[in-house]
Amino acid sequence: MVERTLLKNMLKLLYSYPFRTITCAAVPWFTKIKSDKTIFSMIMKHLSKGFKNPHRTAWIPFVYPVEILYAMNLLPYMTEIYGNGFSRFPTFFKDAFERALHFGIPADACSFHHASVGIFTQGVMPKPRLVLGGTPTGCEDQYHTLRLLAKNFKTEFYSIDYPRNYEGEKEKLDYFKAELYGLIEFVEKETGFECDKESLKVINQRYRDIYTKYEKFMRLKAEIPTTLYESHFTAFTFTLAEFTGDLDKTERYIEEGMQDIEDHKITYENEKPLRLAWLGHPIIPLRKLQYYLAEKRAFIGYQEFMESCVPPVKTNSDPVEEIAEKYLSAYTNVPLGKRIEIIKKRLSEYKYDGIVYMTSWGCHQINSTAAYILEELKNDYPIVQIDSDCCNPKNVGEQQLKMRLQALIEMIEQ
């Protein structure tokens, strides 16, 4: 009996947050690529901070005005993204996707929601101080998922509404600005942390500088084929500044990333590499995709998802209005015609040989636009559409994905 209790206590210690902090610190040592090490150490450090300071944590959806939260010294966690990351370790987080169903996530919701609820209800993070919802990307499901998490953890919940189809209309900007001021008021009241406008201005300026550098990074990715590890593909999708709030390290990551691209460049003798654009959902499902493509002398030069966090940013004397404009201009909030314009502009910057459009199971927002976008591009590029699932590996047919990519390459070479 005594041994049993001892064993139980030992197991508890192993699963304790201090132990998880040590595990987080060790993760970056498993890679040799400098920029990958930085990505992992930034993410792990951000997680460890949350383990140690639950009173500063806020769970949020993707594409959220994090600048405001960082200015208030909070630690935001995008539940879908972290949920997706953790769900890649099924040994530790068993049955995450099935588990979400018991918490009320519908079976036909996209797997980002299954991942976030399935993982975050397993105590991966301590109880959050706040849960903040919203309708970024026009996704009502994100609001429901966050609300459900708040209810489950008996945590205060607040949500902001994003007007859609933004084309610079003043009413929409004023509406969203008021939503952001409402968010600030709520967080200040709940936590006692203040949102200082001067700090917010400094943060906005740092983010603007980071986007300028990030654009150069994106161009280098579009120019030079490499087989850099998946995290490099992932870093296409959002800047680490949004994800971790560590602005100094984000800048360092960009510099290291650019150097790594140069150092890992692939050269093909007497042959030109095939440059592909990846539209729709991000490249998550196919592990080691870059090696598979490299065998076919192809690489991904552009991933549309990166636009979600690199909208144009103008300066404004009211830093809250500036943030409102930035998030309304994200490609997921602008009208479809504008989104097509953004894609065409990107595709005109380099010569692209072919296009992949990925739809992800259960996502009505991005899947429903596929047909319109492909119709616009089909006369200029060989295209394949791939139906897959961003998070749940059970819905991903790796062979089928490879066959679709092979079909695209054959079309290009014809």
Cβ proximity to ligand SF4, 124 vs 363, nearer residue? 363
**Could you say whether residue 139 binds ligand SF4 (CB under 6 A)?**
yes
Cβ proximity to ligand SF4, 121 vs 137, nearer residue? 137
Cβ proximity to ligand SF4, 35 vs 360, nearer residue? 360
Which residue in the block uniquely carries the two structure tokens 């479809």? Answer: 336
Cβ proximity to ligand SF4, 142 vs 239, nearer residue? 142
The amino acid at 352: Y
Tell me the closest approach of the beta carbon of residue 13 to ligand SF4, in angstroms. Answer: 36
**Could you say whether residue 389 binds ligand SF4 (CB under 6 A)?**
no
Binding residue (CB under 6 A) for ligand SF4 from 79, 84, 121, 142: 142
Q: 254 with 213: CB under 8 angstroms?
A: yes
Helix (H) or strand (E) holding 234: helix 230-234
Tell me the closest approach of the beta carbon of residue 119 to ligand SF4, in angstroms. Answer: 14
Find the part of the chain contacting ligand SF4 (CB under 6 A) among 88-96, 167-175, 358-366, 403-411: 358-366
Find the part of the chain contacting ligand SF4 (CB under 6 A) among 67-75, 146-154, 195-203, 360-368: 360-368
Q: Which runs of consecutive H residues, i.e. helices, occur in 60-192?
A: 66-71, 79-87, 96-102, 111-120, 140-153, 170-191
**Could you say whether residue 363 binds ligand SF4 (CB under 6 A)?**
yes
**Could you say whether residue 290 binds ligand SF4 (CB under 6 A)?**
no
Find the part of the chain contacting ligand SF4 (CB under 6 A) among 40-48, 133-141, 263-271, 311-319: 133-141
- 179, 184, 240: which is closest to 210 by C-alpha? 240
For the segment 53-82, give every residue that binds ligand SF4 (CB under 6 A).
80
Cβ proximity to ligand SF4, 121 vs 392, nearer residue? 392
d(Cα 343, Cα 353) in Å, to the nearest integer?
Answer: 15
d(Cα 377, Cα 91) in Å, to the nearest integer?
Answer: 42
- 117, 127, 125, 187: which is closest to 153 by C-alpha? 127
Backbone dihedral angles phi then psi of residue 343, each to the nearest 5 degrees: -60, -45
Strand order in the sheet with 383-388: 298-303, 274-280, 354-360, 383-388
- 382, 389, 386, 387: which is closest to 355 by C-alpha? 382
Q: 57 with 81: CB under 8 angstroms?
A: no
Binding residue (CB under 6 A) for ligand SF4 from 141, 260, 307, 322: 141
Q: Where on the chain is the footprint of ligand SF4 (CB under 6 A)?
A: 80, 110, 112, 137, 139, 141-142, 360, 363, 365-366
